[in-house]
Chains A and B, each alone.
Chain A
Amino acid sequence: MPDSFSFKNPPFDRLNEQERQNLTKSLDIAYYTTDEILINAGESPENLYLIIKGEVKELNGDEIVDFYTSQDTFDAISLIKGKSKNSFVVQEELICYLIPKKLFIELTTKNKSFGQFFSESLAEKQEHQLSIADTQKLASFMVARIGDAYLHSQSIVEPETTIRDASIYMRDKKITSLLVKKAGKVGFVSGINIRDAVVISGKSTDTLVADIAVFDHVTIDVDDFLFDAQVLMTKHHIRSIPVMENGEITGVLELTDLLSYISDHSHLVALKIDRAEDIKGLEEASKSITPMIFTLHSRGTKIQHLTELVTDLNRKIFKRLFEFIAPPEMVKNSCLIVMGSEGRREQVLKTDQDNALILRDDSFYEKEVRRVCEAFTKALLDFGYPPCKGNMMVSNPEWSKSQKEYKTAIKEWILKPDGKTHVKLAAFVDSQPVAGDFSIFEDTRSYLLSKIVSNDSFFSHFTKPIITFDTPLGIFKQLQVEKGLHSGRLDIKTGGIFPIVHGVRALALENGLLIGSSNTFDRIDALVEKDIIEKAFAKNLKEAFQFLLNLKLTALLGKSMSGESVDRFVQTHTLSKLERDLLKESLHIVREFKSILVYHFKLSLFSP
């Protein structure tokens, strides 16, 4: 109400005393009932609306494009442009201030920072951000030096190497060109040179590479700009350029390196992992994952893509690391698995090490197994993967033993239900093989399935934790935030994500759907296929899960980027109005899913 009009909220906090008085004098208040149309598409509105109470939806045709609630204003852009593109309709009865168009325009032109808020916060803000992002990306490319992109060194061969040996070398090293030294000079040989010599000119594969190498190849200095390399590659139609340092060729820059640098660095990281020659090289590769994710995230890459990317890179690292550490005999006769969110492909940063090793039999010396496993866990720690709080990792003998011993453990997990055994079981149910002989894992998993199907009361115990936590949603669908230490925040993990993951996991387990992916989305799809979950509900459930997961991972990334400690809470007041609405909707669906589970697994027998 005019005198108590809050000038604390942006952008009104940017007004000076005189402007505040003018505004206060000109304000009216209006009341509208649900479904009333405030602004028609194509209309020129008379006022800026500032919501005191109620909700308004913005429609483009029939499609809802935005929601407005208490403290939000609309529609500045149509006031500035003189015409509204969309229509605005009352969603929930509305009390609002009306700021006259004339005064609003006057304020936006006279008070620059006030005006900027509106031009920025609307469509132009996005465009603005987009152009900033573009120039930033471009700028970093313009100033980046050759040395900033990845350089393939160690690709110099002796002059007496034959074309065949050079080709084998290139294949093994996964490179497309190499250098050859002859009489103090360094020549350059690319796959194209080899193709031309052997296929086109009909030379023998026993020809020495030195004979087909180009010694006056275009080169570039390590301190030159990356865009120079791009210009040279385009000009000479070449895919790789030898790089000079202090007058000597030190490495090769390939087109893929250049492209990776411009687009994102993911390809580069994958290459680094593939080409790492020892644990040290792997560590270096693994340390570039997190900065890469930050860059991709700040460039607006979708969370789904990031989780895919991180999962694949992590698994590559685990596989290569295991192969570095374990003797070949052990790699052949065991299977390394990842468990939990790593197994479900539902994480975005280096999460806790949840891994295990299944050995084919007892033929390995216990000492040797322990050495390998401890080295593996320690290396991952060095790489920046935090230890598993529940100690579910290979360094723990409980999680690195023979298949036979696993089977005994599985029987126990199922027959003696308590919180601890079920956590282990849940982790194992989500696991996926990453290295070694996958059939060992698959065999163990089949055993688990055969034990479970025949045990009914197992499921009501297994799913009980779902009802232990309340969905943080009030009876009027308002968000319930924490009090005390975590005040204003919402525990999105236990309140939203866990019930979905665990409920879907239990349903999948019950229906023998353990083959293939352990990803929650994939499991939901499989459950729909088997007619366990209704198709329409599954769609909602997946959308809710995607939203909650994105919210959690985005918060996690944000916290991690700003160096805050990472936890499972989401600060609700930092969410946009649309996000708040989606969060409410999603939690509502979680609640619905929980009630389905309670009925299905007869959980009402337990008091929550």
Chain B
Amino acid sequence: MAKVRVAILKAPGTNCDGETAYAFELAGAQPEWVWVEELKTNRKKLEDYQILAIPGGFTYGDDLGAGKLLANELKYRLAESLDSFLRRDKLVIGICNGFQMLVKAGILPSGKLSTEQEATLSWNDSGKFEDRWVTLKPEFNICVWTQGIEEPIELPVAHGEGKFSPKDQTVLEHLLGYGQIVFHYCDPQGKEAGYPWNPNGSVGNIAGICDPSGRIFGLMPHPERHVAGLQHPRWTREGLAGEGQGLQIFRNGVRWVEKHL
């Protein structure tokens, strides 16, 4: 069987592309760097890939808000191909800056390109960029990327603008009601808790959400930074795990494509 093809989207300022590609490789896929410019000039086509991964970074310096300029670029310059990609039951994952971009483009939580922004990721309550490890509690959800993850997992966050805020209560209730909230920040015991366990002040401790189909997934923490035991901050005291807890997410995506597409 041909390997699942993953487009690792690259724009000026993308910087987690190497480790994201590596994570997909470990999960058995064939990742490929795809520059936004290559899509705009039709040298590469989104339709040739089954998964679109939007990695972390500071696209366009995060000027005018994290992920905003890339969101606009995709929305206004690549609307057609992106729209058809989203409609064709393919998978999308946006990590950190990629999540910010999906939210600012209105693709999350709606799953569609044409919608107005229904939520945002804005400045951390602490007012600071922070790199720290967080514990994530999986909620009952419909996300294809996290199936089988039932216990809390640990991943690092590294962002300044990660505070999730829905537009209003209706949006929040909708997310809850349709199983679109994928991960909550929690303390190491799995309980709801404030800063620093919730590193940014996200409303409802929300760390990651998906669209109503469960195929489009966005999260602030970095699963690609925890695919190997050596990446964990306490491997020297807790023992070296065979693999990192983020790898399952990539594996889920790849398996789903293998099964459904």
A and B: bona fide binding partners: no
A interface residue numbers (CB < 8 A to B): none
